[in-house]
Chains A and B, each alone.
Chain A
Amino acid sequence: MENKQFEDVFEAKLAKNEMIEPKDWMPDNYRKHLIRQISQHAHSEIVGMLPEGNWITRAPSLRAKVVLLAKVQDEGGHGLYLYTAAETLGTGRDELLEALHTGKAKYSSIFNYPTLTWADIGAVGWLVDGAAIMNQVMLQRTSYGPYARAMVRICKEESFHQRQGYEIMCHLSFGTAEQKAMAQDALNRWWFPTMMMFGPPDSESPNSENALKWRIKRESNDQLRQRFVNQTVQQVEYLGLTVPDPKLKWNEEKKGYDFSEPNWVEFKNVISGNGPCNKERLAARNQAHKNGEWVRAAAQAFAKKRAQKIAA
C-alpha cells in the first residue's frame, strides 16, 4: 500500500472511534506525540512518589501510614503500566529513564512543589489526583489501545486516591484549630499549582491541536480547568475552608465560576527547572537509579550464570 492508503486507513479508524493498536500503521508524528505523552505521564507517576513518600515515615496513625504506603505503591504501579504502554511504540524503558534522569524529558510540574505538612498529603490526593482524574478520564477513550486500557485501571485507583486525600482533609478541617489551619494553609499553597496542571490556556497550548485531532485528547485545557473549579468549590465549602482566590464568583450565565488565572510566569519557571524542588526530585531519581546499578548488574550476572549451568 502507498503511504497515502495507510494514512486513509488510520484516519478512517479514528473517524469510526476505533482503537489504534501497536501493530497498526500510524503516522510518525502520532507515534512521537504518544511516546512523549505516555512517558511524561509515566515519569510523573514515578516522580510523584517522592513528595508523597516524604510523609510515609511521619504519617500520624498506623492506618494513615498503611494507606499512604499503598497509595504511593499504586503510583509506582501506574508508572509500570505506562512504561510498558510506551514500550509498545518501540522505545525501551532504559531510553525513557535516561531522558528523565538527564532532564530531557518532562514530568508533571506539580511534583516540583514541596509537601511541607501532613495536610499537603491530603491536598495532593484531593486536588492533584482530582485534577489528574479529569485529564485521565478522557484518556480511557483515547485512540491508542494500550494507553486507553492502562488508563482504565489507573483511573479506578486514582479515584480511590482522591477519596483518601479528601478524607485527610476532612479529618483536619473538622479537627482541632491547629489541624484546620494546617488544612487551609495546604489549600492556599496547592490551589493555583493544581490549576496549572491542565496546561496553558488554549490560545497558547502548542501540542493541543494535534492531540485533539488524533483523539489522544478529547477536551481542551480551559474546558477541563473550568470543570475542575466548578466541582472543587463545593468540596472546599463542605470543609469550611476558603478558596484562596478573591475573584472566585459564580457566573449564572455560563453556569460556572469565574476565577483568577494561575500565575503563568511561575508555571513557565517551574517547567524550566526553577521550581522549589526540581533539583531535589531529579537528584532523588538519579540517586535511586545509581544506587540500584549494582543490584541490576548482580541480577543479570546471576541469571547468566544460571543459564550457562543449565545449558552445560
Chain B
Amino acid sequence: MNNELFKYTLRLGDTNLILGQRLSEWTGHGPFLEEDLALTNITLDIMGAAKAFLEYAAKIEGKGRTEDDLAFFRNDREFYNALIVELPNGDYAKTIMRQALVDTFDLYFYQELVKSKDETLAGIAQKSIKEVTYHLRHSSSWVERFGDGTEDSHEKIQSALNELWRYTNDMFEMTEVDEVLIKAGIAVDLNLIKTKWEKHIDELLAKSTLKKPENAFMQSGSRKAIHTEHLAYILSEMQTLPRMLPDAKW
C-alpha cells in the first residue's frame, strides 16, 4: 500500500506544484495592483500545499529523496498532476475560470480528505480547507463579474469555459491506487466529489449568466502521467538550475 500512497500523494503534490508554477507567471503582471497581490497570495498557499504533499511523498517513498528532488529531478512522464493545471494561463478570464473549476474541486476534496485515516494527509487538508474557501470566493466572484460585466468580459469568460471544459473530467478519474486507498479509509471517493462539484458549478454558471458546454469530448491521461505538450516546457523552465548544477545545494 506504500506504493499506492506514494503515487496518491505525488498526484496531490504535483497538481498543486504545477498550478502554483503557472499562477506564479502572473506575479508582477496582474490586471491591477490589488489583484496582483491577491493572486500571488493564492499562489503562495498553493505552493505551500505542494511543498507539504511532496515532502510527505518523499517520506513515504523512503529512499532519501527530498521534496526538491521530487520537484526538480523527475521527468514529465513521472508527473501525475491533473491536465487542467498545466494549460497555459491565457487571458485573465482563462486563469480565473481554471481557478474556479479547480478551487471547487479542491474545496470538496479537502472536506473529505480531512476525514482520512492518514493523519498527515488529513492535516494538510485541514490547513488547505481554510485557504481554498478563500480561493473559491475569489475566483467565483470574478467569474460572476466577468459573466455579468461587459459584453467583452462575458464573451471571454464563456470562451475560457468552453476551452477548459474538456479537461475537467480528468480531475475525477480513479485508478487502482484510489480503490486500494479508499478501502483503507485513506483516499477520497471522487465520484462523491463529482456530484457536489457539478451542482456547485451549475449554480455558479447560472449566477454568472454562462452556458455549460454540451457534449464535449473529455480529455484524460494524467493518471498515467500522459500529459499535454505543455508540461515538458513547464518542467524544462522550472528544473533548469538544479539540473544544470546537480551537486549544488540551494
- Chain A residues proximal to chain B, CB less than 8 Å: 46, 49-50, 53, 56-66, 69-70, 72-73, 76-77, 79-80, 83, 118, 171, 175-176, 178-179, 284, 287-288, 291-299, 301-302, 305
Measured between beta carbons, the chain A residues less than 8 angstroms from B146 are 295, 298
A76 touches B238 (CB 8 A): no
B101 at the interface (CB under 8 A from A): no
Measured between beta carbons, the chain A residues less than 8 angstroms from B21 are 57
Partner of B27, one of A53, A171, A284: A53
Measured between beta carbons, the chain A residues less than 8 angstroms from B24 are 56-57, 65, 69
Interface of B is mostly: helix
Measured between beta carbons, the chain A residues less than 8 angstroms from B217 are none
A70 to B48, CA, bound (A): 11
- Chain B residues proximal to chain A, CB less than 8 Å: 17, 21, 24-25, 27-37, 40-41, 43-44, 47-48, 50-51, 54, 67-68, 71-72, 91-92, 144-146, 148-150, 152-153, 156, 237-238, 240-242, 245, 247-250
Partner of B50, one of A62, A73, A76: A62
A178 to B245, CA, bound (A): 8
Q: How many A-B residue pairs have CB under 8 A?
A: 134
Partner of B68, one of A61, A296, A299: A61
A86 to B223, CA, bound (A): 52
Measured between beta carbons, the chain B residues less than 8 angstroms from A66 are 44, 47-48, 51
Measured between beta carbons, the chain A residues less than 8 angstroms from B27 are 49, 53, 56, 69, 72-73
CB distance from A312 to the nearest CB of B (A): 15
Q: A56-B27, A66-B51 are in contact. Are A295 and B150 (CB under 8 A)?
A: no
Measured between beta carbons, the chain A residues less than 8 angstroms from B240 are 58
Closest to A296 in B: B32
Measured between beta carbons, the chain B residues less than 8 angstroms from A83 are 33
Chain A to chain B contacts (Cβ below 8 Å), 28 pairs? A49-B27, A53-B28, A57-B237, A57-B238, A60-B248, A60-B250, A61-B250, A62-B50, A62-B51, A62-B71, A66-B48, A69-B44, A72-B27, A73-B27, A73-B40, A76-B28, A76-B40, A79-B33, A171-B250, A176-B245, A179-B245, A293-B31, A294-B153, A295-B146, A295-B153, A297-B149, A298-B150, A302-B145
A62 touches B47 (CB 8 A): yes
B41 touches A302 (CB 8 A): no
Measured between beta carbons, the chain A residues less than 8 angstroms from B153 are 294-295, 297-298, 301
A69 touches B242 (CB 8 A): no
A298-B153, A301-B153 are known; give 12 further A-B pairs, CB within 8 A: A49-B28, A57-B238, A58-B241, A60-B72, A62-B17, A73-B27, A73-B41, A288-B28, A294-B156, A296-B32, A297-B149, A298-B149
A292 to B92, CA, bound (A): 8
Closest to B39 in A: A73
Measured between beta carbons, the chain A residues less than 8 angstroms from B150 are 294, 297-298, 301
CB distance from A279 to the nearest CB of B (A): 17
Partner of A73, one of B17, B44, B242, B247: B44
Measured between beta carbons, the chain B residues less than 8 angstroms from A293 are 31
CB distance from A302 to the nearest CB of B (A): 4
A302 to B40, CA, bound (A): 24
Closest to B41 in A: A73
User: Of residues A49, A171, A297, which shows the largest number of chain B Cβ atoms within 10 Å of its Cβ?
Assistant: A49
Partner of A72, one of B28, B54, B245: B28
A50 touches B28 (CB 8 A): yes
Q: A57-B25, A60-B241 are in contact. Are A302 and B149 (CB under 8 A)?
A: yes
A107 to B134, CA, bound (A): 34
A294 to B92, CA, bound (A): 9
